[in-house]
Chain A
Amino acid sequence: MLELTTTRHNPMIDPTLHVWGWEIPVYLFLGGMVAGIMIISGYFLFSGRHRASTQCSCFQVPLVGIALLTLGMLALFLDLEHKPFTWRLYTTFEIKSPMSWGAWILVLVYPALAAVAALRIPESWRIAFKGRLARLVLFSERIRGSAAATKTIGIVNMLLGGLLGIYTGVLLSALGARPLWSSSILWLLFVVSGLSSAAAFAHMIARDPYERVLLAKADNGFLIFELFVFALFFIGLASTSEAHLRAAQLLLGGAFAPAFWVFVIGLGIIIPLIVQLMAVNGKIPHTPMAPILVMGGGLALRFVIVSAGQFSHWMNAHGLPLPF
């Protein structure tokens, strides 16, 4: 008995883990949002809804997605321990490592996003480059004219977006040392949250009224679904083990409860949901503050999950939290 206890107290058994600061939450948020952008613009291409208006936001948001993903990867890079050896990630593919999966998904995501953006060269670019893009414009018109090509690009984006979103959740779930993260539906939470942030962003910048309402409705759906996923997430944690239950309590009533309830649920979901529900029913005008709050809530979610996860512990043989 004594031996059992002392071995679990041995710091070499449960090594001290690297503490994650702001970089990882920011990366997970931006990655999730780009995943949402890919799924949404992919869906617009696949369903042919991009034809409904000449200025479909589904051609603009992938450009923003490229910028956001680059920012996110920069944040990730800042967090890496051995920066000069980052390239080695691309010399191998480890099937059991989410990190390796992620590195390769990220490589595929760029051309997929660029393909959507290239389907419609922005007006301002055409003017800025004064006809030098003529051949590219011609090419993109031809691709856009082919239903099969646009559908394929749409499907590829939806698939890669799904993979990217899932990966941002699995990246945490794969680290068994943190009870809060070892949930089987964390990936779903991050995918839905990414979708809601992306829909909110597209809704904010969409110019076409029909498209704007469609995106706002989709966003409302994602937000409501996110609340259900939260409920499932907590039920799952509460019915796993004492360590998981305590991890859930960190968010529900513990040290992270103010941040969780106020920023993630209150400001990030409930308040924008009320405003957007009224707006899609035509009772009040749309306001850009609602989507901004949704995106803020998505960022807060990553911060809360990443920092609370690092607070959640396994128990030692005495039922006490392990000291790291």
Chain B
Amino acid sequence: MSAPFYKYGLFGDEISLVMAFLIGIGFGFFLERAGFGNARKLAAQFYLYDMTVFKVMFTAIVTAMIGLYYLSVLGFVDLSLVYLSPTFLLPQVIGGLILGVGFAVGGYCPGTSAVSAATGRLDGMVFLLGIVAGIFFFGEVFPAIESFYTTTPMGSVTLPQLFGVSYGLILFLVVLMALGGFLLASWAEKKFAHLRPE
């Protein structure tokens, strides 16, 4: 085992921030390349005539998931040292629904709005202001909703642990699901092509 490098002390906190910047550049670069700096491209996902969001997101998930699994099987990465944020099921379900509404209304998510603002999109900049306002609002009402925020804690739990099956099986099912999804997405793009605005 020699990775994650940071956890094995290859570099300190200061250099980890430099790494964060470099990794962020890669993240922003590919988000922009995919067209995610453009709200029309992102919102098209919800009218089914352009399924880029789904395709990019699931390709990325599958790539990172398989890569990480292989590296851990090879003994290069210690999977237990990769930070997995704990699950609080109910707040995450409700939060996800709210966030989805915001996605359709605003046309971005936080990462993509950063990219859109960086490429000059005014709606992206305004969206960022909205996020900051929303977080401030959440922070101010937090004492009132703190008990809900911490309900249904499940700890740092993965799907294989939840269903009691092997990591490889879930991985295989996710890949199958993604491939099926890609076929379905391409079919939907043809079927709903008429919705694409001029």
B14 touches A257 (CB 8 A): yes
Indicate with 1 or 0, residue by residue over B3-23, a CB within 8 angstroms of chain A CB atoms: 000000001101101100110
Determine the chain B residues whose CB is within 8 A of the CB of A255 once the complex forms.
Answer: 14
A interface SS class: helix
Give the residues from 67 to 106 in chain B that come closer than 8 angstroms, CB to CB, to chain A.
none
Q: Are A261 and B12 in contact (CB under 8 A)?
A: no
List A residues 246-291 near B (Cβ within 8 Å).
253-258, 261-262, 266
Write out the residue numbers on chain A whose beta carbons fall within 8 Å of the beta carbon of B17. 257-258, 262
Q: Give complex CA distance A254, B11 in Å.
A: 11
CA distance A148 to B11 in the complex (A): 59
Count, A-B residue pairs, CB within 8 A: 23
B contacts, CB < 8 Å to A: 11-12, 14-15, 17-18, 21-22, 25
Minimum distance in angstroms from A252 CB to a CB of chain B: 9
* Closest chain B CB from A315 CB (angstroms): 22
- Could you list some 9 contacts between A and B, CB below 8 A? A253-B14, A254-B14, A255-B14, A257-B14, A257-B15, A257-B17, A258-B17, A266-B21, A266-B25
Q: Which residues of the partner chain A approach B14 to less than 8 Å between Cβ atoms? A: 253-258
Further 18 A-B residue pairs, CB within 8 A, beyond A253-B14, A254-B14, A258-B18: A253-B11, A253-B12, A253-B15, A255-B14, A256-B14, A257-B14, A257-B15, A257-B17, A257-B18, A258-B14, A258-B17, A258-B21, A261-B21, A262-B18, A262-B21, A266-B21, A266-B22, A266-B25
Which chain B positions have C-beta within 8 A of A262?
A: 17-18, 21
In Å, the complex CA distance between A136 and B64 comes to: 69
Contacts of A254 in B (CB 8 A): 14
Interface pairs A-B: 5 shortest CB-CB: A258-B17, A257-B14, A261-B18, A262-B21, A258-B14
* Minimum CB distance partner of A258 in chain B: B17
Which residues does A use to contact B, with CB under 8 Å? 253-258, 261-262, 266
CB proximity of A247 to chain B, nearest CB, Å = 15
Whole-angstrom distance between the alpha carbons of A256 and B15 in the complex?
10
Residues on A with C-beta less than 8 A from B25 are 266
* A274 → B minimal CB distance (Å): 11
- Greatest chain B CB density within 10 A among A254, A256, A261 is at A261
Task: State how many angstroms separate the Cβ of B128 from the closest Cβ of chain A.
Answer: 17
B10, chain A: closest CB distance, angstroms: 12
* Smallest beta-carbon distance B172→chain A, Å: 40
B46 CB to closest chain A CB (Å) equals 31
A262 to B22: give the CA distance in the assembly, Å.
9
Q: List, in ascending order, chain B residues with CB within 8 A of A256's CB.
A: 14
Whole-angstrom distance between the Cβ of A246 and the nearest chain B Cβ: 14
Q: Which residues of B contact A253 (CB under 8 A)?
A: 11-12, 14-15
Q: In the assembly, what is the distance between CA of A78 and CA of B22, in Å?
A: 37
Residues of B near A258 (CB, < 8 A) are: 14, 17-18, 21
Output the nearest chain B residue to A260 by Cβ-Cβ distance: B18
Contacts of A261 in B (CB 8 A): 18, 21
Docked complex Cα distance between A257 and B12 (Å): 11
Complex formed: what's the CA distance from A255 to B17 in Å?
11
Contact residues in B for A266 (Cβ distance below 8 Å):
21-22, 25
The distance from the CB of A215 to the nearest CB of chain B, in whole angstroms, is 23
Residue of B nearest to A270 (CB): B25
Q: A132 vs B119: C-alpha distance in the bound complex, in angstroms?
A: 46
With the chains together, A305 CA to B116 CA distance in Å?
Answer: 33
- CB B56 to nearest CB in A, in angstroms, measures 24
**Complex Cα spacing A256 to B14, Å:** 8
Task: Please give the distance in Å from B26's CB to the nearest CB on chain A.
Answer: 13
| Residue of B whose beta carbon sits closest to that of A265 | B18
What A residues does B21 contact at CB under 8 A? 258, 261-262, 266
Q: Could you tell me the distance between the alpha carbons of A91 and B33 in the complex, rounded to whole angstroms?
A: 62
Distance in angstroms from B14 CB to nearest chain A CB is 4
CB distance from B60 to the nearest CB of A (A): 24
